[in-house]
């Protein structure tokens, strides 16, 4: 059945209206997350709008209006007699900080972030020009919150065990690079856990990791360093035992040059872990992708323009597993394993051995 055959005109109109409701609610979920409203609701159990306002340090009139969104969106239940609101426990587990990595409110922040970019995107779509990271308000912090859930929370129990003896090697002491580290929270966690190993984070944007660098200094960690680096000319032969990149390759100025450089930079027996978006390189294979519209939207609004903005190929978020595998092979990797992890429906984990 083609898309045209699947809806009557009336059904399609209903489908669009439903999207309006979902899209506007998602923006308000992001706001609720930023203000800690779901966390307060979970803590207080049953509240009036005044109590929620006091607890969260917000204005009551705004809170009452926000609660109305959540009630009509069937996220929060309302008891009209006492004018109290309840966030059900089985919903709270997908909306509160304490339930990371299952907090979907974190990911909802990409929607308003994309909305803020509309004027620049309109210009880019017409001109074909790219955008710079600095054009995006708070991209690095939203990205870091998201990858905290997919990467940091799963690091020791799910991600490191994908690589045979990696935990033991980190305990003995090896050199590790996070290429395109962003805020570098995964690296910080590793540096704390494995004092005998040395951890290096490279990223184009110094402002992405500046706060984490300060945090590492405050913790007196001597086994971690960050450097602002454009990885299009990455050339440090046989310098690292383990290299990781988390959702970073497809955004690069020159993704193939980075993969070539990573292959060269690995020492014998070295391992490259590439976490990147799960999907096919072919649109026709992504028709039933459960996150298809979201991922292609993020691609339109961020991943494609930031690569084009560096003179890159603009592979896009959905560059796909087929193209990724071909590029890894072109870099020299011929022992490639692919893993999907239950906690992270967004990504696939490629383990590449030299």
First-residue to last-residue Cα distance in the chain: 45
Task: State the nearest-atom distance from the C-beta of 245 to ligand SAM, in Å.
Answer: 7
Q: Which is nearer to ligand SAM, 227 or 285 (CB)?
A: 227
Q: Which is nearer to ligand SAM, 26 or 149 (CB)?
A: 149
Cβ neighbours of residue 93 closer than 8 Å, sequence gap 6 or more = 99, 102
Q: Which is nearer to ligand SAM, 245 or 271 (CB)?
A: 245
Q: Which is nearer to ligand SAM, 78 or 133 (CB)?
A: 133
Task: State the nearest-atom distance from the C-beta of 25 to ligand SAM, in Å.
Answer: 25
Q: How far apart are CA 243 and CA 15, in angstroms?
A: 44
Task: State the nearest-atom distance from the C-beta of 138 to ligand SAM, in Å.
Answer: 13
The runs of H, that is alpha helices, within the chain are 3-6, 9-35, 37-44, 49-56, 60-72, 89-92, 104-108, 110-116, 118-127, 139-150, 166-172, 185-193, 206-218, 255-265, 292-298, 304-308, 321-331
Residues of this chain that interact with ligand SAM (CB under 6 A) are: 133, 143-144, 147, 180-183, 203-205, 208, 229-232, 246-248, 251-253, 310
Task: State the nearest-atom distance from the C-beta of 200 to ligand SAM, in Å.
Answer: 13
Task: Specify whether the CB–CB gap between 350 and 337 falls below 8 A.
Answer: yes
Q: How far apart are CA 65 and CA 56, in angstroms?
A: 15
Q: How far apart are CA 277 and CA 317, in angstroms?
A: 7
* Beta bridge partners of residue 275, listed in sequence order: 246, 349
User: Which residue minimizes CB distance to ligand SAM?
Assistant: 182
Task: State the nearest-atom distance from the C-beta of 139 to ligand SAM, in Å.
Answer: 8
Task: State the nearest-atom distance from the C-beta of 319 to ligand SAM, in Å.
Answer: 13
Task: State the nearest-atom distance from the C-beta of 31 to ligand SAM, in Å.
Answer: 22
Q: How many residues does the structure list for the chain?
A: 354
Question: What's the helix, strand, coil split of the chain in %, to 5?
Answer: 55, 15, 30
Q: Which is nearer to ligand SAM, 271 or 299 (CB)?
A: 299
Q: Which is nearer to ligand SAM, 53 or 213 (CB)?
A: 213
Q: Which is nearer to ligand SAM, 40 or 275 (CB)?
A: 275
Cα four-point dihedral sign 126, 132, 138, 139: positive
Q: Which is nearer to ligand SAM, 55 or 215 (CB)?
A: 215
Q: Which is nearer to ligand SAM, 270 or 312 (CB)?
A: 312
Task: State the nearest-atom distance from the C-beta of 98 to ligand SAM, in Å.
Answer: 21
The 10 Å Cβ neighbour count of residue 111 is 20
Task: Specify whether the CB–CB gap between 174 and 194 falls below 8 A.
Answer: no
Task: State the nearest-atom distance from the C-beta of 136 to ligand SAM, in Å.
Answer: 10
Task: Specify whether the CB–CB gap between 169 and 242 falls below 8 A.
Answer: yes
Distances (CA, A) of 14 to 21, 255, 321: 11, 42, 34
């Amino acid at each position: 059945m083609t898309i045209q055959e699947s809806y009557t005109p009336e059904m399609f109109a209903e489908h669009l209206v439903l999207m309006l409701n979902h899209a506007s609610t998602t923006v308000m979920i992001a706001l609720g997350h930023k203000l800690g409203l779901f966390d307060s609701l979970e803590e207080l159990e049953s509240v009036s709008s005044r109590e929620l306002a006091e607890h969260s340090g917000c204005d009551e009139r705004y809170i009452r209006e926000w609660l109305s969104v959540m009630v009509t969106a069937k996220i929060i239940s309302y008891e009209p007699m006492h004018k109290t609101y309840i966030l059900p426990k089985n919903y709270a587990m997908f909306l509160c900080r304490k339930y990371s990595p299952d907090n979907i409110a974190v990911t909802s922040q990409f929607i308003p972030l994309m909305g803020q970019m509309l004027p620049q995107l309109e210009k880019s779509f017409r001109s074909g020009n790219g955008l710079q990271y600095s054009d995006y308000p708070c991209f690095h912090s939203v990205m870091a919150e998201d990858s905290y859930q997919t990467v940091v929370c799963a690091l020791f129990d799910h991600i490191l065990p994908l690589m045979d003896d990696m935990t033991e090697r980190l305990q003995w002491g090896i050199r590790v690079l996070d290429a395109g580290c962003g805020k570098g929270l995964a690296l910080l966690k590793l540096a704390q856990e494995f004092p005998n190993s040395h951890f290096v984070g490279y990223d184009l944007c110094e402002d992405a990791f500046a706060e984490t660098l300060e945090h590492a200094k405050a913790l007196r960690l001597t086994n971690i360093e960050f450097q602002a680096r454009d990885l299009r000319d990455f050339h440090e032969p046989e310098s690292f035992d383990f290299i990781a990149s988390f959702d970073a390759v497809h955004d690069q100025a020159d993704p193939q040059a980075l993969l070539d450089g990573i292959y060269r930079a690995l020492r014998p027996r070295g391992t490259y872990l590439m976490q990147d978006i799960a999907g096919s390189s072919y649109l026709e294979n992504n028709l039933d992708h459960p996150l298809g519209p979201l991922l292609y939207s993020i691609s339109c609004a961020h991943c494609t323009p930031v690569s084009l903005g560096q003179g890159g190929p603009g592979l896009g978020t959905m560059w796909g597993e087929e193209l990724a595998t071909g590029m890894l092979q072109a870099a020299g990797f011929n022992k490639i394993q692919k893993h999907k992890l239950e906690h992270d429906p967004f990504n696939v984990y490629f383990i590449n051995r030299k």
